[in-house]
Amino acid sequence: MRNLSIVIGRNIENRPTRLSTTTYSRRKKATTVGRSFRAPARRRRASIMAKKGQKGPGKPFLEWCAENGKRGERVANEFREELPTKLTKGSKYKAKWKCLKCKHVWRAKMFSRTRSDKPRGCPKCAHNAPASKKDNFLTWCEKNGERGKKLSREYVDKDKPPTELTYASNYKAKWKCSNVECKHEWRAAVNNRTRSHKPTGCPKCANHMPSKTNNLLMWCEKNGERGKKLSLEYVDKDKPPTAVTYGSDYKALWKCAECDHEWLATLKQRTKTSYPNVCPACKAR
Ligand SMILES: [Zn+2]
Ligand SMILES: [Zn+2]
Ligand SMILES: [Zn+2]
């Protein structure tokens, strides 16, 4: 293990060269003039972090940095908080980081940067990273089970093969909804679809707002015998069939064309392809 003070010292020493002169003088002022009030602020933050349990498990952050060679040095230099004496490598604290390569500033949890499995780097650099044979959108899909399968099926962009971009790309690719009743085509950034937090899907399927072209009646007209039957059995008085979409969660009133039985079911339950809802009276017979 290398001496911890080396990394800390280098960390502070290196900073001025990467800062503009105004930022640096402001910083310098803060460190020289403001020593007396900076310390309590740091203590205050440390106590807040302790309260929230953000101090975290594992060894102290800087100790981890010192033990992890070039990678540790880089992470330590990208760290843009007060010196993190209380923080550990496993902390959930959302710290501020500044990319050494592109100068982008972002926030990320401590542990997301130090973990051994899929550590996070600068998101901006990730967007712009070139795809390789081993690391591209297609290989990402192959590694991501059902979700990956769906995305690779829906990717229909002719201009760029899926092996030419990464999963984090900002490229607005063309997609085609894999829902056979939708087949809607739209454009969305690859990153918007692959991200783990709130990824986007087919806007048409997500859109439960009925329109002139997207409503139950239109759907029935396009769906042959099945559509005819459903439009006949739809007897809801509160909403006309043009005011609801086929994928809606609205519980509508239906009247069986066979036995006149009336029951409630959502539009989605009745129009879906596999195991659609049918008249419960006829089903019981
Ligand atoms: Zn970057
Ligand atoms: Zn769709
Ligand atoms: Zn019936």
**CA-based nearest residue to 277, from 242, 266, 180:** 266
Quote the pLDDT of residue 155: 98
Q: Is residue 105 part of a domain?
A: yes
**107 and 78 in one domain?**
yes
**CA-based nearest residue to 178, from 198, 148, 208, 136:** 148
Q: What is the pLDDT of residues 137-167, one digit of tens each?
A: 999 999 999 999 999 999 999 999 999 999 9
Tokens 């002719």 identify what position?
158
Structure confidence at residue 1 as a pLDDT band (50, 70, 90): very low
| Distance from the alpha carbon of residue 184 to the mean position of ligand 2, in angstroms | 5
Which ligand number lies closest to the CA of residue 208?
2
Boundary of a domain, candidates 90, 120, 150: 120
Q: What is the mean pLDDT of residues 102-108?
A: 94
Which ligand number lies closest to the CA of residue 176?
2
Which ligand number lies closest to the CA of residue 105?
1
Range of the domain at 143: 137-194
| Distance from the alpha carbon of residue 120 to the mean position of ligand 1, in angstroms | 11
146: exposed, middle or buried (Cβ count in 10 Å: 0-12, 13-18, 19+): exposed
Structure confidence at residue 49 as a pLDDT band (50, 70, 90): low
Among 33-37, 108-112, 273-277, the range scoring the smallest mean pLDDT is 33-37
**CA-based nearest residue to 46, from 100, 91, 98, 106:** 91
Q: Is residue 93 part of a domain?
A: yes
| Distance from the alpha carbon of residue 248 to the mean position of ligand 3, in angstroms | 22
Q: What is the mean pLDDT of residues 202-228?
A: 85
Q: What is the pLDDT of residues 66-75, one digit of tens each?
A: 999 999 999 9
Structure confidence at residue 41 as a pLDDT band (50, 70, 90): low
Which ligand number lies closest to the CA of residue 283?
3
| Distance from the alpha carbon of residue 233 to the mean position of ligand 3, in angstroms | 10
Does the structure show a pLDDT above 50 at 10? no
Does the structure show a pLDDT above 70 at 24? no
Q: Is residue 16 part of a domain?
A: no
| Distance from the alpha carbon of residue 253 to the mean position of ligand 2, in angstroms | 25
**61 and 100 in one domain?**
yes
| Distance from the alpha carbon of residue 227 to the mean position of ligand 3, in angstroms | 17
Average pLDDT, the chain: 82
Which ligand number lies closest to the CA of residue 181?
2
Quote the pLDDT of residue 29: 41
| Distance from the alpha carbon of residue 267 to the mean position of ligand 1, in angstroms | 47
Count: domains in the chain: 3
**222 and 259 in one domain?**
yes
**102 and 144 in one domain?**
no
Quote the pLDDT of residue 45: 58
Q: Looking at per-residue confidence, does 269 or 15 come out higher?
A: 269
| Distance from the alpha carbon of residue 64 to the mean position of ligand 2, in angstroms | 47
| Distance from the alpha carbon of residue 282 to the mean position of ligand 3, in angstroms | 4
Which ligand number lies closest to the CA of residue 127?
1
Quote the pLDDT of residue 6: 35
Return residues with CB closer than 5 A to ligand 3 (ion). Answer: 256, 258-259, 261, 279, 281-282
Does the structure show a pLDDT above 80 at 188? yes
- In the chain, the percentage of residues whose pLDDT exceeds 90 is 53
Q: Is residue 44 part of a domain?
A: no
Structure confidence at residue 262 as a pLDDT band (50, 70, 90): very high
Quote the pLDDT of residue 8: 43
Quote the pLDDT of residue 229: 96
- Kindly give the residue spans of alpha helices, DSSP state H, lying in the chain: 4-18, 21-32, 35-51, 61-67, 69-78, 110-114, 123-128, 137-143, 145-154, 190-194, 203-206, 216-222, 224-233, 267-271, 280-284
3-state secondary structure of 100: coil
Q: Is residue 269 part of a domain?
A: yes
Q: Rounded to a whole number, what is the distance in angstroms from the first to the last CA of the chain?
A: 77
Q: Is residue 10 part of a domain?
A: no
Q: Is residue 166 part of a domain?
A: yes
**145 and 101 in one domain?**
no
Q: Is residue 75 part of a domain?
A: yes
| Distance from the alpha carbon of residue 269 to the mean position of ligand 3, in angstroms | 16
Quote the pLDDT of residue 19: 34
Does an H or E element contain 183, and which?
none
